[in-house]
Amino acid sequence: MGNFILQPQFSQLTLIRSYSMPFMVCFVLAMAFVVAQAQQMQSNISHGSSLTPTTNSSWLSRSGVYAFGFYKQGNGYAVGIFLAGIPQTTVVWTANRDVLALLGYTFKTQTNE
């Protein structure tokens, strides 16, 4: 009988290459997902935006559950945090609740330069 030598069909390098490609694809997809999530987590308030009592606007939280802004209270406007997306204003917190804001009040974002 002759001598038989068993040799692997694939070299170790080929084996590493065959496992690295699916890993790289998964890694790239995971990184794309992380970047997309990070972009969604950016602030909802842009620099230079403003709120006034008469515009009925507010700044939404990242989750969209809460909003910050002016809301009608009695004969004036109050400033606070309230539940967003529901018809009846449900206030969570009010700033200086005993003093109503005047119509000329404005909240404006700006940078410290």
Query: Does residue 31 fall inside a structural domain?
Result: no
Q: Which of the two residues, 46 and 39, has the higher pLDDT score? A: 46
Q: Please, are residues 49 and 32 in contact by the beta-carbon 8 Å criterion? A: no
Query: Does residue 45 fall inside a structural domain?
Result: no
DSSP class per residue in 6-23: ---SS-HHHHHHHHHHHH
Element (H, E) at 70: strand 66-73
Query: Does residue 19 fall inside a structural domain?
Result: no
Query: Does residue 93 fall inside a structural domain?
Result: yes
> How many structural domains comprise the chain?
1
CA angle 97, 86, 91 (to 5 degrees): 15
Mean pLDDT computed over every residue of the chain: 70
Query: Does residue 67 fall inside a structural domain?
Result: yes
* pLDDT tens digits, 61-89: 888 899 988 888 888 888 889 998 888 87
The model carries a pTM of 0.53
Which residues does 76 contact at the CB level (< 8 Å), separation at least 6?
53, 100, 101, 102
Q: Given pLDDT bands bounded at 50, 70 and 90, which one contains residue 7?
A: low
- Domain that includes residue 62, residue range: 50-108
DSSP class of residue 103 equals: T
